[in-house]
Amino acid sequence: MSNRQDDYDEEIREHIEIETGENIARGMPPDEARRAAFRAFGNPAVVRQRLWEGGPLYWLEELLQDIQYGWRLLRQNPLLSCSIVLTLTLGIGINTGVFNVLNGIMLRARVQKDPDTFAHVAVQYSGEVGPTVLDWGVSTADFRAYQARIQTLDSLAAWGIARSTIGADDPTQWLIMPVTCNFFSLYGLERPRLGRLFRPEDCEKPGSEAVVVLSEELWRNRFQADPQILGTQVTLNRRPFTVVGVTPGHFSGQLRGPGLWVPYTMESVFYSGRDLFHNDSIPWLTLEGRLKPGQTRSRAQAELAAIARQQEQLLPARKATVYVTNGSFVQEPAQRVQMLWIGPLIMGALTLVLLLACTNVTMLLLSRAAARQREIAIRLSLGAGRNRLLRMLLTESLILACVSGAISAWIATRVPSAMNKLIPGMPYYPLEPDMLVFAYLAGITLIAGMIAGIAPAVESLRVDLAASIKGQEGLLGTRRSRSRGFLVGAQVAMSLVLLVAAGLFLLAQLTTFRASPGFETRQVLILTARTPMPPYTPGSAAVFYRELERRLQTIPGVRSVAFASAPPFSSDEGGGPTEEIRLLGQAKSAGMKVFTSTVSAKFFATLDIPIVRGQGFVEGDVPRKGAISPVVVSEAFARTLWQARNPLGRIVQDSDGNALEIVGVARDVKSQRLGVMDGPFVYRVRDPRAYGDSVLMRFYGDAARIQSAVHDLLREMDRDLLPRITTLQSSVDFYLDSFWKVLDMVLFLAGVALGLAIVGIHGVVAFSVSRRTREMGIRMALGATRRDIVVSVIASGVRPILLGLFLGTLVAISGAMALDQALRLTPFSIDVKNPVPYLAVALLLMTTALLAMLGPALRAAGSEPLSALRQE
C-alpha cells in the first residue's frame, strides 16, 4: 500500500472515531454507535473517493472533463455551434469594439507616455469676466504665475487653438496650435520624424522666432512629403514661418487633428492682431503638466487654487475655480453634464444588442436541451447530481462564449486601424486596447455565456425521468411555453427600444431637418474672413469692410449685403453667444440669458426674416454708449417677458447696464439648432465702424457664378485675403452630413436588433410547433381545421409579443427623453413627443413577428394527423 493510501486509511479511522463520538452524543449505546460509524465509513474505497471529491484537484478534474465533453459535443453539432458562436460574436464583438472607442475617447488620458502622471488643468472664471478666447483656459499672466509657483506639478505646459491659411492660393483654414516649448516633451515626443522641435529660445519673447513644426499628415497631404521641407518658409496669415521639424504620424499631441505647431509667443499672428501674450485678463491657454513623484491630482488642485486666489488680487472682481483631471473627457468639467447622458445611452444600446444576441442563443440552446432530455434523464437515473449536471451544461455555453470572446478580442485590436481609415484626419485618441478593455471583454463574455446558458441548463434538468427515458413528452409544456414566451417578449421589447431611437433620428432627418428654418438659405452666401492683419489697423480695416460692402453690391446678381457677428449655424455646439438681459430695476444675475447677435440694418431683408411688429433697423441706427440703443427681439423673447402685451418701446438693460429700446419684433427662426425654434433672441444694431463680422449676401441666379465673382473681387482688393465663401444651405448640409454618420450607427444597431428579433421569434415558434406535433394531430383528428391550427399557433405567439411591445414602449419613451437631453448641447434635436416613430416601430415589429410565425404555423397546419399520432 502506498504512503498516500496509508494517509487516506488514517483519515478514515479518524472519521470513524469522530462519527462514533457524535453517535454516542446523540444517545446511542457505545457498541451501536461504533457499528453505525463503521457502516458509514467502513469502506475505505468509498471514503477515499469522498475525500478526493472534497479536494480542489477533483474540481479541476471535473472542469477538464466538462470542457472535453462539451468541446466534443460541440464538434458533433458544427452547424448549431457555428450559429451560436456567430450570434454571440455579433453581440460581444460590437460591444467590445464600441467600448474600446469609448474608452479611448472618454475614459483615458490622450497621451501615450505615462498617462498615470498626466494632469489637465481647467479653470472656470466667474464674476466680472471680460472677453474670452478659450473657455476653461487661462491668461498668459495666470500661466506664468502657475508655472513659477507650482510645486506639485512638473513640466507645466500650455497650448491654444487657432486657424490659419497656408500660402497665398489655398483658402483652407488649417489647424494651428500655439504651444510652449516644453509641449512636445510633455506628450512624450523627444525626437521628431524630421528636423528638430522647439528650443527654449523660441519661446523667450513675443515674435522672437517665427518657426513652425508640421504634423506628418499635413506634411504628406499639403506638401506632398517634400524631403527638402526643412528650412523652407511657409506663409501663415501673411507672416512667413520657417519649417524646423515634422512630427511622427499619430502623435498624441494632435489634440484637434493634424496641423501645425508654432511658439505661443507668435500668438498675435493668429488672434486678429491682439497681444494676448501681455494681456492679463483674456483666457486663451489650456494648461497641462506631470505630477511629481509622490504627488496627487487633488494636491495639485489645492495648490493651484491657492495660487489662483493670489492672482485674484490683481483682478478682485474675478473669481477662479480650478479643476485638475487625468485628461479624459469623462473628468472634464465642461463635458461632465453631456457625458452623464451620452455614455449611459451608448452603453445601454450596446447592452440591448448583447442581450438580444444572448436571447437568441438561449433559444437555440433550449431547442438542443429538449433534444437532450433522454440523455439527461439517463444521467440522473444513474446517480448524477443535478448540480454536477448544471455545471456541465453551463460549461458548454461558456466554451461557446469564450470562442466568441477570442474573436471579439481580435476585433478590438483592429479598431485603431479601422478608425484611422474611416476618419483619416481625426485627432489622436488612445484606441489601442488596454487592460480595461480586455477586462470588459472577459466580463461580458462570462456574463453572456451565463445568460445564454443558465435557462437551457435549468430547463434540461426539469425532466420526467420515466417519460424522457422512453423518448416521450407530455402534452403539458406550460412552464417551457412561459419561458419561451418571456424570451420572445424580451426580444421584442429590446428591439423596439433600438428601433424607436432609429425612427426618431430618421424622422428628424426626413421631416424636421428638411423643413424651412424660417429664413432663406439657398440664395444667401456667407463670407467669413479673419480680421485683416497688419499693415491694416482697426480703423483702416473698418474702411476696408465698408468698401467691400459697396463693391459687393455692384456684382450682378447680388441683391443686398448685410453683416452679422453670429450668423445662423455659426456655432458647433448648437447655440450662439449669450448675454444677460434684464428689466429696469432688476439686479445683476436676475435677468434672462438670451442669444445675441450684432447685425446691420439690411440683415432681416437679406435673410428674409419678417418683422411682425414695429420695424427693423434703419440706416443710421448705431449703438450709443451711455444712451438708449435700439434692438430687435424675437417673438420668443417678447412672449417670455410680456406674454401678449405689446413690447414695442419698452426699455431693457444688458449685462453692462446699457439701456436698450425695443423697436421691433422678428419672427422666431431655427438658426441655432436644426429643427428647433430658437429661444429668446436679441438682435443688436451693428456699429458701422466695426470690422471682422461675417458678410451675408442675398443673390439670385447661379450660386457658383456669384461665388466666383466675390472671390475675384476679394483677390483684387487684397490678394492675401483668402476667405471662405459658401451658401447658408451648405452649412445646413454640413451638419446633416455629420448627423447621417450618427444615424448610420443607430440604424446599424437597430437593423441588427430587428434581424435578431425576427430570427429569434421564428426559431421559438418553429421549435414550439415541433414540440406540439402530437397535440396538433389530436386536435385535427377531433375535427380542428387547418385554419384553426394556424390561428392557434399565431395566437400563442402574439401574447408575449404584445407584452413586449407595451414594456418596450415604456422603456423607449424614457430612453428618448434621455437622448434628447444628451443632444441638448449639439446642433441636432429630435422630437420625442411625436407618436409616429413609436406607432410605426410597433407596427413594423408586429408585422415582421406575424410573418416570422406564419411559416411554422402553415407547416403545422399541413401535417398529417395519423403521422403525428403514430409517434406514440
The residue-averaged pLDDT of 850-856 equals: 77
For residue 365, is pLDDT > 80?
Answer: no
In whole angstroms, what separates CA 101 from the centre of its chain?
Answer: 9
Residue 743: φ, ψ to 5°: -65, -40
pLDDT at residue 125, as a whole number: 83
Task: Give whichever of 30-34, 84-88, 534-538, 622-626 has the largest mean pLDDT.
Answer: 84-88
pLDDT at residue 385, as a whole number: 66
Element containing residue 55 per DSSP (H, E): none
Cα-based distances in Å from 124 to 127, 151, 415, 746, 805? 10, 21, 35, 35, 46
Of 636, 642, 634, 641, residue with least CA distance to 665: 634
The set of cell numbers assigned to 149 is 509657483
pLDDT in tens, 125-166: 877 666 667 778 888 889 999 999 999 998 899 999 888 878
For residue 858, is pLDDT > 90?
Answer: no
Q: What is the 3-state secondary structure (H, E, C) of 167-203?
A: CCCCCCCEEEEEECCCHHHHCCCCCCCEECCCCHHHH
Quickly count: other Cβ atoms within 10 Å of residue 704's Cβ.
9
For residue 755, is pLDDT > 50?
Answer: yes
For residue 611, is pLDDT > 90?
Answer: yes
pLDDT at residue 246, as a whole number: 94
pLDDT at residue 180, as a whole number: 94
pLDDT at residue 121, as a whole number: 93
pLDDT at residue 621, as a whole number: 78
Q: Per-residue confidence at 356, pLDDT binned at 50, 70, 90?
A: confident
The residue-averaged pLDDT of 305-331 equals: 86
The set of cell numbers assigned to 502 is 432609429
C-alpha to C-alpha distance for 175 and 55, rounded to whole angstroms: 66
Return the biggest CA–CA distance within the chain.
124
The residue-averaged pLDDT of 277-300 equals: 88
In whole angstroms, what separates CA 540 from the centre of its chain?
Answer: 47
pLDDT in tens, 453-510: 777 777 666 655 555 445 554 433 444 556 667 777 888 888 888 888 888 877 777 7
DSSP-assigned letters across all residues of 818-831: HHHHHTTTSS----
The residue-averaged pLDDT of 651-667 equals: 88
In whole angstroms, what separates CA 81 from the centre of its chain?
Answer: 33
Between 385 and 788, residue with greater pLDDT:
788
Q: Per-residue confidence at 12, pLDDT binned at 50, 70, 90?
A: low
pLDDT at residue 1, as a whole number: 41
C-alpha to C-alpha distance for 573 and 591, rounded to whole angstroms: 23
The residue-averaged pLDDT of 720-736 equals: 76
622: left (phi > 0), else alpha (psi -120 to 50), else beta? beta
pLDDT at residue 491, as a whole number: 80
The set of cell numbers assigned to 12 is 478514515
Radius of gyration of the chain (CA): 37
First to last CA, the chain: 56
Cross-strand pairs, 699: 558
- HSE-CB at 146 with a 13 A cutoff on CA atoms is 32
Q: Per-residue confidence at 534, pLDDT binned at 50, 70, 90?
A: very low
Between 105 and 213, residue with greater pLDDT:
213
The residue-averaged pLDDT of 108-125 equals: 89
C-alpha to C-alpha distance for 486 and 545, rounded to whole angstroms: 70
Cross-strand pairs, 578: 595
Cα-based distances in Å from 175 to 158, 178, 327? 16, 10, 21
Q: Per-residue confidence at 533, pLDDT binned at 50, 70, 90?
A: very low
pLDDT at residue 837, as a whole number: 86
- Report CA dihedral (607, 608, 611, 615) to the nearest 10 degrees: 70
pLDDT at residue 376, as a whole number: 67
The set of cell numbers assigned to 854 is 406564419
Read off the pTM.
0.72
C-alpha to C-alpha distance for 18 and 280, rounded to whole angstroms: 86
Task: Enumerate the domain spans of the chain.
Answer: 3-54, 61-108+336-473, 115-327, 479-518+729-872, 530-722
For residue 101, is pLDDT > 90?
Answer: no
Of 250, 146, 179, 262, residue with least CA distance to 214: 262
Of the listed ranges 174-183, 230-239, 758-767, the least confidently predicted one is: 758-767
